[in-house]
Each structure stands twice: as C-alpha cells, then as structure tokens.
Structure 1
Amino acid sequence: MTARRTALAAALALALLGACAPAASTGASAPKSIRDCNLTMIPKSTDNPYFAAVHTGMADAQRELGGDLSFVGPAAGDVTGQIQRIQSGRQRGSCVIGLSAVDSTAVAPALNAARDHGAKIMAWDGDVATGSRGIFVNMARTDAIGRAQFDILANAMHRTGQFGIVSSQATAEVTNKWIAAMHAELARPENKGMTLVKTSYGDDDAKKSYDAAVALIRAYPDLRGIMAPTPIALEAGVKAATDLGVADRIVVTGLGNPSADAQLLRNGQVPAYVLWSPRELGYLAYYAAAAYISGEITGRQGESFSAGHLGRRTVGADGEIVLGDPITFTKDNVDDYTRDFQTTD
C-alpha cells in the first residue's frame, strides 16, 4: 500500500507540475524579429511564371531582412495541395503562413488550425475568407483592377457588341471581385451598347481555358470580345480566336504577364492588358510579414510600417495593404518592365 501511495503521489506531483509549467510547444513561438522565423508562403501554382516573379521579390526582401523562407505550393492551381502546404507549415512551426488562395473558403479551416497552433496568417495576391487572416497584401484596389481591364475592352469594342468572360476558378475571391467591378462599369450609361453573354471558368488551366474560349466563340457568332482576367485565359483566348479564324473581329484582353505575353502586344494580337509588378508584390508581402511578426502591425486600419525601397505603407480597412495602381501594358511600354518579371532560379 505504501509503495502504491508513493507512486500515486509522485504521479499527482508531476501532473501538478505540468499544469503550472508553460504549455508544451503547440505551435510557432512569437519572436520579435523575422530573423528568428521560418515563413511558409504558398502560391496558387509553382508552374506559373507570375508566381516565380513574386518569389523573386520575396527573396529580394529576405536578403535585406533575413528569415527562413519556404516558398512552396502545388504545381497547378489545386486547393488540396495548398491545404497540405498549410498543414506542413503548421507542423514545421512557421511563424507566418501566407498564401494566394485558390479557394478562399476551402483553405479557411486549415488556416484557422494553423493560427490556433501559433502561426500568424496573412494573404497576398488572392484573399481568403473573412476572419481567417490578419492582413492581406493586395496588388491594387480591387475595383481599380476591374475597371482598368474593362476600359481596355470597352474602348477596343467602341462600347458596343457582345462579349464573354473566361475567368480562373469560380471560387477565386479576388477575381470574382474584379468581375463584380466590371459589372458595375457595364451598368454605366455609356456602356449600354455592350452585352455580357456568358462567364466561363477555365480553372487557370491552359486546355480548360482554351476549350471555354472555343465554346464561347462557337455559341455566340456575333461575339466581339473576350475578357480574360488571368494571363492563362488571355493566352487561351488569343489562341482560340486565331485557330477559329475570328481574331480580326474579336478583341481579347484582361490580365497579361509581360514575361510571357509581350509578343501579343508587339504583334497586335492584344491591344493592351493589365497587371502590376509581381516582384514588388512579393517584396511588399515579405516586409509586411516582418512587421506583422514583430507586432509593428496587427491588421488594424491606420497602422504603418517601413517597406524598404517602397517606403512606408499603411494598413487600410479590413487589414488590406495595397501595392499601388494597376499598370496598363502596351507595345510602347512593355519592355520597360523587364526587371519586374525576373524569376528566381
């Protein structure tokens, strides 16, 4: 009996000691410097040269600030692959997990679990569901990106005729917001001669986007424009119009990537397209992560931080940090932005 009481007392003492001691590591600690951190940054896809340029910008900032950067993602736009990388970042104890979401809602449970485990959560390029992140580094104001794309199409179509949209994923929150801004522009009196006939989704896949563009052209013989708010859809739309022999009457525009699509401007297949600097987006996102880790910003409107050569930046409503205005690329200026699209080896 005495031995049993002794063992029981020892077990009770250990339990009490465990209750009083700090909790065992259930996630990332909260260091005050990015130099002490591992960061997991997850693009929509690693095969896209746009995200390779974002990685270059993050690497630029990493050389200035330090930190251990893991830039990992699925080869194609795959939400399951993104969730797996979120879980890996949590298990690795990443201080920050940031991503460009393929599906803003589907990734939320994994992000919430990582946050509960101690990671700070941020989004960049493609936002996530409300409440699942602290800050969002946006390329430009959402409505400005939508308007800029629509204006190119409307001017090229002389604001009259039918057009269709070939978008990325139906679940891509930021792209859907651009399309909502286009709808708002379409409702303006000066655009009453334009008609949106259909919105299709190619899932940022070259073949699916091509097939969607072909189906759109065949279904609407009077089609005069294709809006492609993703570079993959832009390239697919141009190819579809060319293959079907209607490139002379159908305008294709939207988002383009000058590293891959400059020739479309030079040879007149596309009048202009919109983007921003993916390299500077990555640079800003890394500096924002550093400020988020240190506690310099928390996501409250009005907070500000230093973003290296980009100067001081201010947090806006709902934790949004904006890179700047969208850029309209034409054959006359596309070669001026080579640096912004360089990729990391």
Structure 2
Amino acid sequence: MRLHSRARIVPAAAAVCALAVVLAGCSGTTKNDTAEATTPGASDAKADPSAPIKKGLKIAFLPKQINNPYFTILDGSGIAAAKELGASAKEVGSSDAKASSQVSYINTLVQQRQDAILIAANDPNAVCGALKTARQQKIKIVTYDSDTGKDCRDLFLNQTSSEQIGRSQIQNIAEQLGNKGEIAVLSATSNATNQNTWIEFMKDELKKPAYKDMKLVKVAYGDDDDQKSFQETQGLLKAYPNLKGIISPTTVGIAAAARYIGGSSYKGKVVLNGLGTPNQMRKFVKDGTVEQFSLWDPKKLGRLGAYAAASLASGRITGAEGEKFTAGDLGEYTIGKDGEVILGPPTVFDRGNIDDFDF
C-alpha cells in the first residue's frame, strides 16, 4: 500500500540488491600495490573514522553516457560536493553507452593518477580489467547506478534496493491497469546490470497470483538512445495490438516513449510507467500522457558518491561491511554486504506533487 502524501514513497520490498554509483578515492593507506583483494575492503588496511578528509583529491565521474539528463544532474551534484570537500572533480565519458568506450576513459584516468573513479558501468564484466588495473594503482573505485563484479570496485552506491525497484514497477502499473492486460518493458542496453536485475524482479513479481491476468509479452532495448527508444516504442505498439502498458525503467526510454505515445492515438489508452526525472516528465504528466512515474533524487546520489569516494581516499573507510561514514547533510550511512550502500527509497511523482521537485 502506498503512502498518500505529496511525496509518496514506493512500497518497501524485502531485499537489497544492486544498482550502482561509481565514485572512488585513492590513498596509500588502504590498498597495497598488488591490490589482489577479491572482496570490497579486503586488505590489511584498517579504517580510521577520525582521519581528516584529504585536500586536493582528484575525483572523476564516468557515467554510462554524457549528455544524458539524469547523469548530468547526478554528476553535477557530485562534482559540486567534491569541491566543497576541497577536491577537484570532473565528468568524462562518451556520448554512446558502450563498455568499450568506458574502458578507454578508465585507462586515461589511470594515467592521470586520479584518486577516485566513480563509474556507472555499461557492462558488469567488460570494464573489470581496466578497473582492477586502476585499483592496483591505489585508485579507489565506486560504482553507481549500475554495478560491476564485486572484486572490481571498493563500493557500490545503490539508489535503492533493486528488488524494491523491480517489484514496485509491477505493483504501480498493475494498480493502474486493474491487474489485467499485456505489458512490455522498454529497457536500456541488453547487458546493463541494473536494468537486468530490476527486470528479473519484475518477472518474479508477476508470478504472484494477484497478477494471473497480466502478461509480459516483450522486453525491448532502446540502448539509452532517444531515437531508438522512440522507435522501439512504436514497434511494441504495432507488434502487440492488445498491449495495455509499458514500463520503461530508464530516464531516456520513458521520455522517448512518452513523446511517442503523447503524439499518437495511443494516448490515454496505453499506460506508461517507469523511472524518470520530474523536469523531464512534467509536461507528459500535465498533458495526461503519463499518470505517474518514480525515481530517487539523483542530486542526493551524486552527493553521496562524492562523500563516499573522499572517505575511501582518506582512509576513513575501506569498503568493509559494517563501516560507517557521514555524507554531509545526507547523514550517516552504513556499508552493507558486498560493499553496498543504499541511498534510500524512491519517490512516486504525479500531478499532485511533481511541481514540488526541480531536477
């Protein structure tokens, strides 16, 4: 049951999974030169919670792709927070969402001797070799939005529980559809860790008796490209004439899908839900194309990344389960299993509260 307030919170689900914010800092006090650790924080170093945040740290944000509104907001907030901590920070990356492009940037950042790299991985495995090389150079690695293998980074900053995201996507659209009808998913890339994790939880949620009259007919991939996502939406609606709803758990995908539906005969007939930013989706909510969608606050995720990276690079934390660190005005966070830190539950946005947010 959802909470009815001006900033409704998505219902909590039981478990915590992975999503990712990458942010990292480097310090000789936390990793030896070989960096052979296979689990986050697994080294001979000990955390010193009272250690001061080092000044002059060099921190780089490597998103899935630049010029993506979601990552522009997130990384911009992280860069601002890093500067508040006396660090220099920047965003680098390619306009495509390819793992090979990220590998090239990681290698360059290693050459530049960054103290920390924050990465939203486009592939959970393809970037690991380059990240392990970075760790051997005592560069701290923090994943955000989309994780890598656990032995490839120090921390994973998860927007919220992956189970919570996946199950709530089905719960939200099912409520709108009266638990009946065919649905499809418009995802990002086919190998995006976070998207695939959420989709598995969506599929598992659909196995419950409450959804016996609902059917997932297709998972399509827009590759986080606006035009391809637009075309995939068109293709779904033509291929499945009985389609009643689309879930797009990607900010690029949901905006492109809303643009197509809003300008077609499907407006008001096909329900669109998923993950988007208020500024991106406001017009579609107000013109009736979309009733609701959800997301965490990317500004907060960026700030959390900056503080996590600086804390790692300064030796305040090593990434071990149970360690705690303070992220400024966001408060105190505890590192969970496998080096995961969870920002908090997402918010459901609709006509009643969307003007309360500006991001």
Q: 1:174 aligns with which of 191, 194, 209?
A: 194
Q: 2:111 aligns with which of 91, 102, 114?
A: 91
What is aligned with 2:221?
201
Counterparts of residues 13-52 of structure 1 (less than 5 Å) = 30=28, 33-52=53-72
> Is 1:246 aligned with 2:266?
yes
Structure 2 unpaired stretches of 5+:
1-25, 30-50
Residue 111 of structure 1 contacts residue 121 of structure 1 at CA under 8 Å; is this kept in 2? yes
Deviation at 1:303, TM superposition (A): 0.6
What is aligned with 2:210?
190
Deviation at 1:335, TM superposition (A): 1.4
Q: Which has the higher helix share?
A: 1
Bigger relative CO (Cα 8 Å, ≥ 6 apart): 2
Residue 35 of structure 1 contacts residue 67 of structure 1 at CA under 8 Å; is this kept in 2? yes
Residue 35 of structure 1 contacts residue 68 of structure 1 at CA under 8 Å; is this kept in 2? no
Q: 2:236 aligns with which of 205, 216, 223?
A: 216
SS in 1 for 2:55: helix
Q: 1:111 aligns with which of 126, 131, 141?
A: 131
Counterparts of residues 1-345 of structure 1 (less than 5 Å) = 30=28, 33-338=53-358, 341=359
In 1, Cα distance between equivalents of 2:233 and 2:54? 45
SS in 2 for 1:131: helix
Higher mean alpha-carbon deviation, 67-76 vs 56-65, is at 56-65
Paired amino acid for 1:161? G
Residue 272 of structure 1 contacts residue 329 of structure 1 at CA under 8 Å; is this kept in 2? yes
SS in 1 for 2:152: coil
In 2, Cα distance between equivalents of 1:307 and 1:92? 26
In 2, Cα distance between equivalents of 1:48 and 1:96? 22
Q: Deviations over 1:276-330 (max 9, x none)?
A: 1111100001001111112222121111011100111100111011111111111
Paired amino acid for 1:52? T
Deviation at 1:179, TM superposition (A): 0.9
Taking only the aligned residue pairs, the percentage that are identical comes to 36
In 1, Cα distance between equivalents of 2:27 and 2:131? 17
In 2, Cα distance between equivalents of 1:204 and 1:168? 5
Deviation at 1:184, TM superposition (A): 1.7
Q: Deviations over 1:95-118 (max 9, x none)?
A: 111201111211111111111222
Higher mean alpha-carbon deviation, 155-164 vs 124-133, is at 124-133
Q: Deviations over 1:23-73 (max 9, x none)?
A: xxxxx6537744132112101122111111112321332233111112111
What is aligned with 1:20?
none
Residue 159 of structure 1 contacts residue 194 of structure 1 at CA under 8 Å; is this kept in 2? yes
Paired amino acid for 1:112? K
In 2, Cα distance between equivalents of 1:130 and 1:301? 13
Once superposed, what is the RMSD of the aligned Cα atoms? 1.5
Q: Deviations over 1:152-208 (max 9, x none)?
A: 211111110101111000111011111111112111111111000010111000111
Paired amino acid for 2:354? V
In 2, Cα distance between equivalents of 1:72 and 1:35? 21
What is aligned with 1:15?
none
In 1, Cα distance between equivalents of 2:78 and 2:273? 28
In 2, Cα distance between equivalents of 1:318 and 1:265? 38
Structure 1 unpaired stretches of 5+:
1-27
What is aligned with 1:9?
none
Deviation at 1:243, TM superposition (A): 4.5
Q: Deviations over 1:105-141 (max 9, x none)?
A: 1111111111122211110111112311110111111
